Structure 1
Amino acid sequence: MSNGDKGITRRGFVAGAGAVAAGLGLAGCAAETKGGDTNLANTSPEKVAYDPNEGEWIPTTCNMCFNNCSIKAHVIDGVVVELTGNPDSSIGRGHICGKGAAGIMMLYDPNRITKPMKRTNPKKGFDEDPGWEEISWDEAYDLVDTHMKEAIERSGPHAVTGMSMVASQIGSLVRHTALGVIYGNAEGSCSDICGAGVHQLEYLLTGTGNARPDYKYCNYVIQFGTNAGTATRHGFNMTAEPFAARRAEGLRHVVFDPHMGAAGEKADLWVPIRPGTDAAAALAIANVLVEEGLIDVEFLKTRTNAPSLVDVSTGRIIFDETAGKSLYMDADGTPKTYDVCADPQLEGSFEVNGKQCKTGFTLYKEHIAKYTPEYQEEITTVPADTIRQIARELGKAACIGETIDIDGVTLPYRPAAVDGFSGITRHKHAFHACWAVFTLNNLIGSTNSVGGFCGFDPACNGWTDDNPNMSWRPAVWEPEGLIDNHQLLLAFPNSYYKKVYEGDYTPTTMGMMELQPLGEDNHFEHVAQAYPEMYHTQAAEVAFCYACNPIKWWGNYDEQAEIFKGYSYVIGIDMFLNESSYFYDVILPECCYLERTEPLPHAANNHRVIGGMDNPWTVPVWQKVVEPRDGAPSSWELFSEMANRAGKNAEFIATLNMMFRVKEEYSVPMDQKLDVEAFADSVLKSNIDEEHDFAWLKEHGAYDHPRDVDEVYLWANGDAGRVPMYFDFMLEAKERVEAKVAELGIPWETDDYQALPDWKPGCGYEVTDPEYDILPVYHTDAINTDSWLMENPYVNEINEENPYGYTIEMNAATAAAKGLATGDKVRLSVPEGTSVEGILATSEGVHSECVSVIGGHWGSKSKYMPLAQDKGVPIVHLVPGQTPDRLDHICAAFDQNIRVKVEKIA
């Protein structure tokens, strides 16, 4: 297969699409539409060559990023001529972003692959032509099955590793299910993009793995490392509208970020901060809140474990030996279990059973005493006065002691929230950073409170009044009365506490998740696979890559390439031949999202639907709007075919039925290949009712059911449950992890397992060579989320017209001091010799020690994606990816801080 000359511009694409439409007899009136105006926003960049009232507007789901907004496709004679938001669905609220509107260009991209191919050149490398040869689907399936089975027969199920990307999470679930059923291995690695640390703290505090400010009622929002509501993040199009409305009504917005992205631009106060130091700033804010009494004492006493009595000699919480529950000191001077203590003492020192004790809050207060605004200034570069100002504003905005009535229920009103996301997780000690940031909500009582910091979907009473099949509510972990959580996507019960106190720490998974009882993502597999002898793991022989670009997942691309060269066989499923495809042995195409049907695209407890009283439970449709080019299958169809060929239909369908809560009476036949539409029908009938089946959903686009107050605010009905302030379970995990790694004789870091949060210097914090003094960071904006988007003509043109789109942005004063100016070609290099190049663009919106680029994984090496090739600056390539010291050993976050030299080149 030759790539030929398939580059295309947006204008060329629009002209070509117009020609196709005209050739099909689709020409219509552009300026004057017959039949009147339409209520759908026109997103065409130029005058349209069709009538908006012709053809069909078909509801479906966007997949141009992980948000999966509801959209409508305008289809005339089998051709998609326009995409818009779907105003009938709350998911996206009728909006469509620039990349969503550009989805039509992905559908008709001439560089898409639609037929299976195999490699004919055995040599692998970025400079090697794989010599792709088109093959039949039968041969493709046989190659996959043969190589998977042979590897497992030789070396067991761990001989195979799977990889997939968050942009197709349901597809990833089906991949896990199919490979597990067929081959006995559903494991795999994931990219550095995941919010390691964020999800864990949100689970612990809100009962669900994603949380957000309660925008409808919030008056004050602090953001650390996130553009939520202004550019990116889960539920972006759902968040932007209410956030903008509240901003217009006076909500104050403060942003901590090394780069002034969309959030910083729109904020009342942008606070440039040294990368990797957010924990210090958050702890200094906590210091001011506590010292100045700007805390919610009642919340801390009744909804956190802050009153827990702690043995000062061991740092461990004291438990009643008979009841097995933690002890608090009551106002009458008697220690009592947390559940019967009438008036817990928040502060104080006591003697209990011959032990000197302090409350958890007393230890927290003593611990953060050193984090004065002046102390953090040396670490973060944020002025001490700025920290004091923000802390006082936050404490005042929390309206501590006030209440509000919602739907007849009186609730605490705390209209202030501190939010954060992946910007603070690209560092070592990420768990501590998230811990320090999110605990601020506990101090002001805004966790799970109206106007405060609330989970997306902490509880569900069902998607209809009389069918609780799809329902959940966090359990309570009895020893401390702490809320448990439910998993992302499918909302099955989960408990970090049970993992810590009752789990087996012996590693059996490729990513050694057993040694990370507070882990969520399988990031450690990258290092465990690179050093199998060190970690007593097994190096995989076959890699199964679905809808992803794993060469660019994890630091230096050349290091990743060597890992891929070590596999005996690599299988790819994708729409494009990205740079990872240079290491694939066979590739199976997946059809475009507009050509496929997927059941329940937002799963159940999905972290892309923001929740809140204004956002109902919404079940959207994902249906194909045109036939797939060359009959290319969807991932559901592809994995169903694999299960069918393996004679595993019953096992495959039974597992999916369990995952999606399908009732037995609605199950599809177990003795034949899964029919995707029929399965979607079974899911809807099981979890809603027979009226709202898939045929109904295809026509109406979305099903809504209003949320109850106690689904949005966990304790609205007076349920028991607390959240942790003093993390005793971390000390338990430390003991158990240390015992296990000593037994196994493997290296493991456990210093971060402590009961209270800290700031600790990560990689790149210190300048060890004055020539290498700059920290590169990357950010995203509303048009860029996934690396393949640059292959899209519309997105590419926006990036090219943006003066900071494909450039290296540098602080203007720093640039001048180095003799650099806008337009200079510069090289960023590390002492080991790795370098990247780009054009400099100076601004005032970057921290003085940093340079920043959009999409740090850009710079495609694939000639098969000609529009994206060599676009952007891939600064992540500068980071060593296979060194254990860059991993947070609690949550497996990957530290991307590295000092570089910036020099002008001719």
Structure 2
Amino acid sequence: MEFLQTLMSRRRFLQVTGAAGAAAAGSAALPRLAGFSTLSEVHAQPAAGSGQTVITKSICHQCPARCGIDVYTTDGRVHAIYGASNNPISNGKLCPKGHLGTYILYDPDRFKGPMKRTNPQKGRNEDPKFVPVSWDEALQVVADRLNALRDKGESHRFALLFGRGWGASCAGLLGDFGKLYGTPNAGINHSSMCSDGSKKAKKATDGNYSYSAYDYRNCNYLLIFGASFLEAFRPYNYLMQMWGHMRSKSPKTRVTVVEVHLNTTAAAADRALYVKPGTDAALALAIAHVMLTEGLWDKEFVGDFADGQNRFKPGQSVDPAAFKEKWTHGLVDWWNAVVKDATPKWAAGITTIAERDIVETAREFGTTRPAIALFERGPTAHSNGTYAGMCIHALNALVGSLFAKGGLMYQMSPAYGPPPVKVEDYLDEYARSEERKKYPRIDLVGTEEWPMASNMMQEIARNHLAGKPYKLDTVMFYLTNPIWTAPNPQQWEEALKDVFVIDTSPFPSETAMYADIVMPDHTYLERLQDTPTYPFEGWPMAGLRTPAIKPLYDTKVFGDILIEIGKRIKGPTGEYYKKLESTENLLRHLAKGFADSPGTNGVTDFESWKREGVWYRKPYLWQQRRGEFYEWDGQGYNKLMKPEEVKAKLFKTPSGKFEFRSGYLEQHAEFIHRKLGIAQDKVGYPQYLPAKYTGGGDLHFITPKVAMHAEGRGANIPTAIALLQPTMGGRKTVYLEIHPDTARKRGIGNGDRVRIKSAVGSIEAIARYAPGTRPDTVVLPMEHGHWAWGRWAKGRLPGHSGEVTANQSDPISGLANYYTGMVTVEKA
């Protein structure tokens, strides 16, 4: 690739060629078993004739799981990666993509150092004509630009956008940078293009804007709505371990999967229900209807009728005074307004799932305790997504699984110490001024347009193009590639043509091809970085990435890039970052908190954290048993909690209970009524709303992630490409899954090249007959379609799914509606 050849000075060329042998790093042979004896641990073997092997404790980067890894380095070359046996997530195991770190580290298409653009023209087919520059020059160019904006009173025109934020040493720095510099746009997260729908549904019902943690080990029933449990749910490696445990323990955990196609999870489950996309809420409501009419709710948690007689009858209202609630709020109101009419027959007509299957699922779920209703992007990536998530989460309340053994809870934060310097001490008059408060975020979060959303990254490109609320001048990207990941990315290609772009990717992403300055981050095996765990078993945990190898090239860890820019900003901001010094200094201060909260594994300071690779502290501090909440007192769950304690620590809702009538949503009743047409007195109830489908086609278009997705980096790794779609047998491409009957009606044969079209655009793909896919739905896993990123990623079929996906979002959560699109498919 011509532009890559322009990157390297003679010194960098020698670095590249010197590492060429490392690019072919392979897995070491396993030790030979003696007879029938077993191995307690497997160790990588150094290559013949090599020197000493060093094992570095670190954290994987292939997905959000944060699995502990042991990285084997011999003579400065990483040659193997295994799951760390001392890490509670990995337990000595890794998922199929865990070994890809060596390929990422030695990717020949990596950026080798900082660069600047010399071609002023920007576009998909424009060579940036990057030339190498020193780090001092790159940092000063950026700092000069930011200082100039601040001098003009236009600091709000700088935005810092990020994707997978890992911890205090990277994403945790962005908010403080925004405060000190004076922009509301640092940083804006990609959560609105990830899974904000599930978090907002939980915020509306139990008061926690967070991902759930789960006690799978003790769960006896899993009802999975579109969560791709055995493909891409988090933490994936641990879930595979728990699947084996759940399916072999006694009693065996029963599993029902709600999906649109036969994926690995559905194939392994006891029952698969193939739901019409966007109708999950109707199914969940019908399950609740059966549970209530048949008396299957957890009375010790929810409450009961005063006289013990079940008055929940189909179609009949109930006097709220007849029911005494315990840890829920608004159950009878919800029944009267929504659930009494949500019969299995009604739901069958909407979802196309047979009425008998709905009833059987409801009875199983309602009688098999502990049970969990688990959901993610599948049901929430629609215009009705928050309400769908609320309907599903309401089932967890009905079975009393919240904070219970075998149920779900929320992750505790690590016991970090304070940073070495306080932001508040370095805010100057400019940063504190009322003038700064006049400028809203570029994504309009917090305004009347998106008052409830937390992030709206997908709105930034079109807002900039329209000058609404203003035009951006400079944008910096960290671990996000919106030209490829956003719906309707064509808008980003236009928007970034007249913006000064700073990219920190180690790889030639699509966004990097629009960059004016490239300041490449280390790959994860070269980084020092904290990784607090979020969706696991509830008790707090924080991993530490420690460099397994000196940086191969002239790169810097992102946290230090930002700190070095900060040091060059005029005034108190520069002084703040000089005091902060470096990410290592920050991490050493954070680790001081472990002295007062020593880890269960003995970690008490930075050095022991580095040695173990992880700090964690068991147990989880709270548990609900038979409708009472208890706090850990050092010996057991012996301290009975008062209602006000439950409200402060667990149910952070206005009522201090799980809310079937959401006080949070009722605070925004006028907005929800205006956006979704719901009567203001009913906005608080979990309910079914018909999805607003986009695209103008006749087939639903679903774009799930797969097990080898590797946070997007797998697209330039041949071994990941070959294994990407195992259910369809893909090797060089990702197939469009289409039902044989649907295909034949369109004259499409198995293996034909097809064109997928919507009102947004068109792409091409290879069709593969998939009898396990709904006839009204086509499925195209989101991975290929890159026009940059590297030699193996570029130009590979199918086209990018985002190019036929409209930019529509759920008004409440702001989650992009990736699964609401409708397309036409024809033979190309």
Q: TM-score, structure 2 length as denominator?
A: 0.82
Change (3 A) 1:41 1:423: farther
SS of the residue 1:900 aligns to:
strand
**Corresponding residue of 1:788:** 713
For 2:661, the aligned partner's letter is Y
Residue among 766, 790, 815 paired with 1:893? 815
SS of the residue 2:217 aligns to:
coil
Change (3 A) 1:361 1:469: farther
**Corresponding residue of 1:632:** 555
Q: 1:215–1:242: 8 Å Cα contact kept in structure 2?
A: yes
Q: 1:259–1:847: 8 Å Cα contact kept in structure 2?
A: yes
SS of the residue 2:81 aligns to:
strand
1:819-850 residue CA offsets vs partner (Å, 9 max, x unmatched): 32221111111246x21111111122211111
Count of residue correspondences: 745
Change (3 A) 1:199 1:422: same
Does residue 823 of structure 2 align to residue 821 of structure 1?
Answer: no
**Corresponding residue of 1:759:** 688
Change (3 A) 1:525 1:161: farther
Change (3 A) 1:752 1:20: farther
**Corresponding residue of 2:116:** 118
1:240-289 residue CA offsets vs partner (Å, 9 max, x unmatched): 21232011221110111112222112111111111111111111111111
Separation (CA, whole Å) in 1 of partners of 2:826 and 2:496: 32
Separation (CA, whole Å) in 2 of partners of 1:346 and 1:105: 51
SS of the residue 2:519 aligns to:
strand
For 1:121, the aligned partner's letter is N
**Corresponding residue of 1:166:** 164
**Corresponding residue of 1:190:** 190
For 1:678, the aligned partner's letter is N
**Corresponding residue of 2:345:** 374
Separation (CA, whole Å) in 1 of partners of 2:606 and 2:572: 22
Separation (CA, whole Å) in 1 of partners of 2:796 and 2:519: 25
Residue among 495, 520, 527 paired with 1:589? 520
SS of the residue 1:577 aligns to:
coil
For 1:372, the aligned partner's letter is T
SS of the residue 1:799 aligns to:
coil
Q: 1:281–1:387: 8 Å Cα contact kept in structure 2?
A: yes
Deviates more, 1:253-262 or 1:103-112: 253-262
Q: 1:887–1:894: 8 Å Cα contact kept in structure 2?
A: yes
For 1:758, the aligned partner's letter is Q
**Residues 463-542 of structure 1 mapped to structure 2, 5 A cutoff:** 508-514=440-446, 515=448, 516=450, 518-523=452-457, 525-526=459-460, 529=463, 537-542=469-474
Q: 2:3–2:127: 8 Å Cα contact kept in structure 1?
A: no
**Corresponding residue of 1:427:** 382
**Corresponding residue of 1:11:** none
Change (3 A) 1:51 1:96: farther
Per-residue deviation, 1:792: 1.8
Per-residue deviation, 1:429: 1.4
1:615-648 residue CA offsets vs partner (Å, 9 max, x unmatched): x643333111111123411012111211222367
Q: 1:518–1:891: 8 Å Cα contact kept in structure 2?
A: yes
Separation (CA, whole Å) in 1 of partners of 2:575 and 2:623: 32
Q: 2:734–2:780: 8 Å Cα contact kept in structure 1?
A: yes
**Corresponding residue of 2:594:** 687
**Corresponding residue of 2:2:** 2
SS of the residue 1:715 aligns to:
strand
**Corresponding residue of 2:269:** 267
Separation (CA, whole Å) in 2 of partners of 1:30 and 1:279: 49
Per-residue deviation, 1:49: 3.7
1:79-99 residue CA offsets vs partner (Å, 9 max, x unmatched): 111111100111322222222
Per-residue deviation, 1:33: 10
Gaps of 5+ in 1: 7-15, 304-326, 332-342, 348-357, 399-414, 471-504, 654-669, 739-746
**Corresponding residue of 2:238:** 238
Change (3 A) 1:212 1:206: farther
**Corresponding residue of 1:481:** none
For 2:278, the aligned partner's letter is G
Q: 1:30–1:48: 8 Å Cα contact kept in structure 2?
A: no
Change (3 A) 1:255 1:868: farther
Does residue 483 of structure 2 align to residue 551 of structure 1?
Answer: yes
For 1:143, the aligned partner's letter is V
Change (3 A) 1:594 1:213: closer
**Corresponding residue of 2:635:** none
Separation (CA, whole Å) in 2 of partners of 1:88 and 1:566: 50
SS of the residue 2:553 aligns to:
helix
Separation (CA, whole Å) in 2 of partners of 1:222 and 1:577: 40
Q: 1:213–1:418: 8 Å Cα contact kept in structure 2?
A: no
Q: 2:3–2:129: 8 Å Cα contact kept in structure 1?
A: no
Per-residue deviation, 1:162: 1.8
For 1:773, the aligned partner's letter is D
Q: 2:478–2:503: 8 Å Cα contact kept in structure 1?
A: yes
For 1:823, the aligned partner's letter is G
For 1:565, the aligned partner's letter is K
**Residues 734-773 of structure 1 mapped to structure 2, 5 A cutoff:** 734-735=669-670, 751=678, 754-764=683-693, 772-773=697-698
SS of the residue 1:841 aligns to:
strand
For 2:780, the aligned partner's letter is V
**Corresponding residue of 1:775:** 700
Separation (CA, whole Å) in 2 of partners of 1:286 and 1:437: 9
Q: 2:330–2:660: 8 Å Cα contact kept in structure 1?
A: no
Does residue 281 of structure 2 align to residue 279 of structure 1?
Answer: yes
Change (3 A) 1:577 1:782: same
**Corresponding residue of 1:611:** 537
Change (3 A) 1:40 1:757: same
Separation (CA, whole Å) in 1 of partners of 2:347 and 2:824: 26
Separation (CA, whole Å) in 1 of partners of 2:288 and 2:527: 49
Separation (CA, whole Å) in 1 of partners of 2:29 and 2:531: 35
SS of the residue 1:716 aligns to:
strand
Separation (CA, whole Å) in 1 of partners of 2:440 and 2:504: 27
Instruction: Give the aligned CA root-mean-square deviation in angstroms.
Output: 3.8
**Corresponding residue of 1:220:** 221
Separation (CA, whole Å) in 2 of partners of 1:890 and 1:19: 50
Residue among 812, 817, 820 paired with 2:740? 812
Separation (CA, whole Å) in 1 of partners of 2:22 and 2:30: 13
Residue among 769, 783, 786 paired with 1:842? 769
Separation (CA, whole Å) in 1 of partners of 2:481 and 2:661: 40
Separation (CA, whole Å) in 1 of partners of 2:326 and 2:216: 33
Q: 1:148–1:183: 8 Å Cα contact kept in structure 2?
A: no
**Residues 281-360 of structure 1 mapped to structure 2, 5 A cutoff:** 281-301=283-303, 360=331
**Corresponding residue of 1:601:** 531
Per-residue deviation, 1:761: 1.9
Does residue 598 of structure 2 align to residue 703 of structure 1?
Answer: no
For 1:715, the aligned partner's letter is F
Separation (CA, whole Å) in 2 of partners of 1:564 and 1:794: 33
Separation (CA, whole Å) in 2 of partners of 1:22 and 1:346: 58
Does residue 543 of structure 2 align to residue 620 of structure 1?
Answer: yes
**Corresponding residue of 1:880:** 806
Deviates more, 1:750-759 or 1:547-556: 750-759
For 2:569, the aligned partner's letter is A
Separation (CA, whole Å) in 1 of partners of 2:221 and 2:792: 45
Residue among 499, 502, 522 paired with 1:571? 502
Does residue 332 of structure 2 align to residue 361 of structure 1?
Answer: yes
Gaps of 5+ in 2: 7-16, 306-318, 419-436, 632-639, 647-656
Percentage of pairs with the same residue = 21
1:660-699 residue CA offsets vs partner (Å, 9 max, x unmatched): xxxxxxxxxx854523333322211223359722222222
SS of the residue 1:590 aligns to:
coil
